[in-house]
Amino acid sequence: ENIEVWTDMLQNMKSRGLKQVELFLSDGVVGMKTALARTYPKAHFQRCLVHVMRNICAKVRVDDREKIMNEFKQVHQQTNKEEATAVLHDFYTKWGKVYSHVIRSLKDIEPDLLVFYNYPKQIRASIYSTNMIESFNNVIKRKAKPKAECPTEQSLDAFIGIQAMSYNDRNFNRIHKGFGQVQ
C-alpha cells in the first residue's frame, strides 16, 4: 500500500469512465488520501469512524475502553458539525493527559473525521463507516471459502466478478437507508 499503487488504481477507474467522486470513505490506508487528491481533487475524504474506534481501543487500557468508546461515539451522534467538533475537542481535553499519543493521532486526522456532517442527516449513518463495503467483502469471503483455490488469476477475477454481479442483481432495487429520502 502506497501512493503509487492507489494512484494507479484510481487512474484505472478514471480511465474506465468514473469521471468524478463526491465522497471517498476509507480506513487509514497509507497514501489513499494523497492519491485521491491527485486523481479526483474535488472529492471529499472521510475516515471510517469504526476503524478509528478500533485503533483507539487498541491503544488504551482495557479498563478505559468502554468509557472511551462511549464518549467517542458521541462524535458521530450530534446534530451538526459544530456540536461534533465541540464533543471531539472535549474528548481531547479529557483524555489528552492519559493518552496523549491517541489524541495526537486523532488531531492529525481530524479534518477527515467529520466530513460526513457536510451531507444530509438521513445518510450520515451510512457514510461515516466502511460497513457497506465490508459487508460486500464478507459475502465474497463466504462464497470463496468453499473453493480451495483458483487455478489462474483470470478464474479468480471471473469468480469475483460473478459474485459482484449476483450481489448487484439481488440488491438492485434496494435503496440504502436514508438515500431514498434525499434523492
The pLDDT tens digits of the residues spanning 17-37 come to 999 999 999 988 888 999 999
pLDDT (average), residues 78-96:
97
Domain parsing of the chain, residue ranges: 3-46, 48-127, 131-182
Mean pLDDT computed over 36-52: 94
Q: Taking residues 133-151, what's their average pLDDT?
A: 77
At 183, the pLDDT band (50, 70, 90 cuts) reads: low
- Looking up cell 473453493 gives 147
Nine-digit cell at 110? 481530524
Distance between CA 105 and CA 135 in Å, rounded?
27
Confidence of residue 131 (pLDDT cuts 50, 70, 90): confident
Contact 45, 26 (CB under 8 A): yes
Query: Is this prediction's pTM over 0.85?
Result: no
